[in-house]
């Protein structure tokens, strides 16, 4: 049975999260602006129904928010980092309280399965927990000076305003990956969510407001600006925002990166993926099938880490293909809030059109259909956004294979000879986000992870390409943008590094032994 069974359930969920039938699209955390921009209607891909609408922000709204964020930064950065961490700890507790309704809203507005929606909210909780510990560990280094009576060290300071541009496929987690770290680092944040998922953003702002109000956090530490590309352009070109974190397509990232670079700002880019799993001869099929299938069809193929390509050794190719066909035959496609289903809808009709176009292009280049795709219709599929996951035999050099299609299309191909041939296929695409190998050969596993192996930011052994944990830095190379978010030392991108030298002697020796006698 669907977790949202009727219209009353939807209304109750929205009321619990502070969402009305018509909403304003700009907030400084302390208050909502009466916005008068173009109306954005949030249509659920689950059933095609209007959930609620948002009046987008105008340029004037944006300007007011930036000024308020600048004011808040002066106060926020003066609060000790562990105290900022305590506020983030409280936010984690509040998110735990709202986990079920927020997870359901993520699923209903975006279309991912309920378990994935709840899992995304859990990521928010996890990054907050990580940030709390980090608030007492913003370490610098101490170095030995070549000059007697001198001490050298480095420290990190907050940067100011962090602009966050997020995508529809992870409408809440990616925002919190950035904010939790930025806030403990002493930064303030302005968020432009995807106009395809504005309601989840409003819910996050309302939840954050409860915690911030209880702790007298300055208005402007958590800002929200809902709008289209024009708002993103304002942010990218605004020299008052030293860091822009942008998640989305490579095309979008190139535009943002160019605008930010032109003003010598910093950008953290998390862009497209074209992720592959190499299936070596020793691979265990009991691990290959669930890893490949979930990687390819999870979130209806709308993850940047979704598995796009399977590179299978010729000796086991037929066996792997047969197992995949059998597994795909068991997939249940339908309402993602019904936990019996595996695959939900694509985000909208444009995504469906891109999916169909990719299949036709693959066939035109010589691809052979292994599992046929298509759009589903009839009862339960009224939104027109439900499609069948497809498998296509293809060659790595096909033009369509070289590009990312945000849909459940899996390209399967053979390799022969040694692992180096598979790695060559794996790396021979413009993107470099996630990668994996299925093997029980230790030498192959180590070779895949060596500097002669995968060129991606993420490289896994005996797990799939999706499902990153908070503790590791997340991001990729090449056209994926080179950014790193979440764990490890990704916090450093939100801060500016400063090297300090202290002379505690009675003389002024110069570096490199230079003499300057007066």
DSSP, collapsed to helix, strand or coil, labels residue 423 as: helix
SS3 string, 317-334, reads HHHHHHHHHHHHCCCCEC
- CB count within 10 Å of CB 474 equals 23
Residue 303 is encoded by which pair of tokens? 């993850």
Distance between CA 106 and CA 194 in Å, rounded? 13
Question: For residue 439, which of 276, 277, 274 has the smallest C-alpha distance?
Answer: 277
Distance between CA 89 and CA 128 in Å, rounded? 6
Catalytic residues: 270, 304
Distance between CA 390 and CA 399 in Å, rounded? 18
What DSSP letter does each residue of 108-157 carry, written as one string?
HHH---HHHHHHHHHHHHHHHHHHHHHTT-----EE--SSTTEEEEEEEE
Burial class, 368, CB count within 10 angstroms (exposed 0-12 / middle 13-18 / buried 19+): exposed
Tokens 């930025």 belong to which residue?
Answer: 182
What DSSP letter does each residue of 203-239 carry, written as one string?
HHHHHHHHHHHHTTPPTTSEEEE--SHHHHHHHHH-T
Residue 406 is encoded by which pair of tokens? 């945000």
Distance between CA 493 and CA 91 in Å, rounded? 22
Tokens 């979440």 belong to which residue?
Answer: 486
Question: For residue 191, which of 221, 225, 217 has the smallest C-alpha distance?
Answer: 225
Please name the residue ranges forming H helices in 33-79: 59-76
Per the CB < 8 A criterion, the answer to whether 233 and 62 are in contact is no
């Amino acid at each position: 049975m669907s977790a949202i069974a009727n219209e009353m359930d939807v209304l109750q969920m929205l009321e619990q999260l502070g969402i009305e039938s018509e909403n304003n699209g700009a907030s400084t955390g302390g208050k909502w602006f009466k916005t008068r921009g173009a109306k954005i209607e949030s249509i659920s891909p689950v059933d095609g129904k209007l959930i609620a609408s948002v009046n987008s922000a105008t340029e004037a709204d944006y300007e007011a928010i930036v000024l308020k964020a600048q004011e808040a930064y002066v106060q926020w950065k003066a609060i000790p980092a562990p105290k900022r961490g305590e506020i983030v700890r409280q936010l984690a507790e509040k998110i735990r309280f709202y986990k079920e309704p927020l997870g359901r809203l993520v699923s209903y507005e975006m279309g991912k399965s309920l378990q994935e929606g709840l899992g995304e909210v859990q990521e928010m909780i996890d990054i907050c927990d990580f940030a709390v510990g980090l608030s007492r560990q913003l370490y610098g280094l101490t170095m030995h000076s070549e000059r007697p009576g001198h001490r050298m060290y480095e420290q990190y300071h907050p940067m100011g305003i962090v602009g966050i541009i997020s995508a529809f496929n992870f409408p809440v987690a990616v925002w919190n990956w950035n904010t939790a770290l930025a806030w403990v680092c002493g930064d303030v944040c302005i968020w432009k969510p995807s106009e395809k998922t504005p309601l989840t953003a409003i819910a996050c702002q309302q939840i954050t407001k409860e915690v911030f109000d209880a702790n007298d956090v300055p208005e402007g530490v958590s800002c929200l600006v809902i709008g289209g590309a024009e708002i993103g352009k304002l942010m990218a070109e605004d020299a008052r925002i030293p860091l822009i974190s942008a998640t989305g397509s490579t095309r979008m990232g190139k535009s943002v990166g160019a605008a930010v670079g032109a003003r010598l700002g910093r950008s953290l880019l998390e862009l497209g993926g074209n992720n592959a799993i190499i299936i070596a001869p020793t691979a265990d099929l009991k691990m290959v099938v669930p890893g490949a299938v979930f990687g390819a069809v999870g979130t209806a193929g709308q993850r940047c880490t979704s598995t796009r390509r399977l590179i299978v050794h010729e000796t086991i190719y037929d066996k792997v293909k047969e197992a995949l066909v059998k597994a795909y035959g068991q997939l249940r496609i339908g309402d993602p809030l019904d936990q019996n289903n595996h695959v939900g809808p694509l985000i909208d009709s444009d995504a469906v059109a891109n999916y169909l176009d990719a299949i036709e292009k693959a066939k035109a280049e010589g691809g052979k259909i292994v599992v046929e795709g298509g759009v589903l219709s009839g009862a339960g599929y009224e939104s027109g956004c439900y499609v069948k996951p497809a498998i296509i035999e293809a060659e790595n050099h096909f033009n369509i294979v070289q590009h990312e299609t945000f849909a459940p299309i899996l390209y399967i191909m053979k390799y022969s000879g040694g692992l180096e041939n598979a790695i060559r296929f794996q790396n021979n695409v413009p993107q470099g986000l996630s990668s994996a190998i299925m093997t029980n050969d230790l030498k192959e596993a180590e070779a895949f992870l060596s500097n002669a192996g995968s060129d991606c930011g993420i490289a896994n052994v005996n797990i799939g390409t999706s499902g990153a944990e908070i503790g590791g830095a997340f991001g990729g190379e090449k056209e994926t943008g080179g950014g790193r978010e979440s764990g490890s030392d990704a916090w450093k991108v939100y801060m500016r590094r400063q090297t300090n030298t202290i002379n505690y002697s009675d003389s002024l020796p110069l570096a490199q032994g230079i003499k300057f006698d007066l």
